[in-house]
Amino acid sequence: MAEAQSPVWLITGCSTGFGRELALRVIKKGWRVIVTARNTDQIADLISAGYDKSFVLALALDITKAADIDTVISRAKSQFGRIDVLVNNAGYGYQSSVEEGDDAEIRAQFDTNVFGLFALTRAVLPMMRAQHSGHIINVTSVAGLMGFPGSGYYAASKHAIEGWSDSLLAEVKPLGIHVTCVEPGPFRTDWAGRSLRQTITKITDYAKTAGERMSGIKDISGTQAGDPGRASDIMIRLTQQANPPRHLVLGAIGFENVTKQLKARLDEIQGEKDTALAADFPKA
């Protein structure tokens, strides 16, 4: 594909997992891409993965640091002049019971998963507005649509992105910019072994809920049904759709859990219709 026709991607968290798989596929298509990680040594090999090294820009990015974001945007403008697809993939998990959550851990997770994502997106939006086009893909989780024991604060960070994405889409869709949240269930990445932080449950009342789930989470690492490569292919196809979806749940387990939860939630809300309507002033 000629450079003039090639979309420009910016992908965060490219050292492992979804980010790396997606970056490799975009590079092999001959598209232009900015790949990022906190440590560029972990992504240096991606530059040589494509047929044209000038199409791949590997940059250090800690999305909690404004200076890093400014540098990435400046380099993207100078080398490519545009950004067509932003994939907000960087983030990590933190587990604890709600009561035992560590304040420093909670705030650190929100700095990365939420506030860093917000800041980078704000930095990219002026280019997309000028282009009257673009696609923002936020990699959230099924935990962005439902909660699990032991994952209250992680779920809160992903729920925050989901609600924010609703507002973002309402603002930028008239400008030709798409917004999609990709919500994976269990996928075979090293998420549990590499980036998962935990505050171990010591309160016995939570042993069968948060404690049991936390103790078993690392045992399933490497056996999950979800394939990061197939998911990456799906994300690429997503950007080629004229009307991409706002939500895309990935994986059978995630799909089953989310649809069951949302149907139950809707039934509960509709079951309280009379109570909901009774809160209004009586009609004259």
User: Per residue in 11-27, pLDDT tens?
Assistant: 999 998 899 999 999 99
Domain encompassing residue 127: 3-269
CB within 8 A of 279, min separation 6: which ones?
none
- Evaluate whether residue 281 is within a structural domain: no
CB 221 within 8 A of CB 235: no
What per-residue confidence (pLDDT) applies to 202?
94
User: Per residue in 89-103, pLDDT tens?
Assistant: 999 999 999 999 999
CB 248 within 8 A of CB 258: no
- Evaluate whether residue 225 is within a structural domain: yes
What is the spatial distance between Cα 60 and Cα 53, in angstroms, rounded to a whole number?
17
Instruction: Calculate mean pLDDT across residues 58-77.
Output: 97
Q: Where are the beta strands (DSSP E) in 48-111?
A: 56-60, 85-88, 94-95
Write out 130-143 in H/E/C secondary structure.
Answer: HHCCEEEEEECCHH
The residues annotated as belonging to the active site are 154
- Evaluate whether residue 282 is within a structural domain: no
CB 92 within 8 A of CB 195: yes
What per-residue confidence (pLDDT) applies to 1?
34
* Whether residue 4 has pLDDT greater than 60: no
- Evaluate whether residue 280 is within a structural domain: no
What per-residue confidence (pLDDT) applies to 226?
72
- Evaluate whether residue 121 is within a structural domain: yes
User: Per residue in 229-265, pLDDT tens?
Assistant: 999 999 999 999 999 999 999 999 999 999 999 999 9
CATH number of the domain at 116, please.
Answer: 3.40.50.720
- Evaluate whether residue 275 is within a structural domain: no
- Evaluate whether residue 279 is within a structural domain: no
- Evaluate whether residue 64 is within a structural domain: yes
Number of domains in the chain: 1
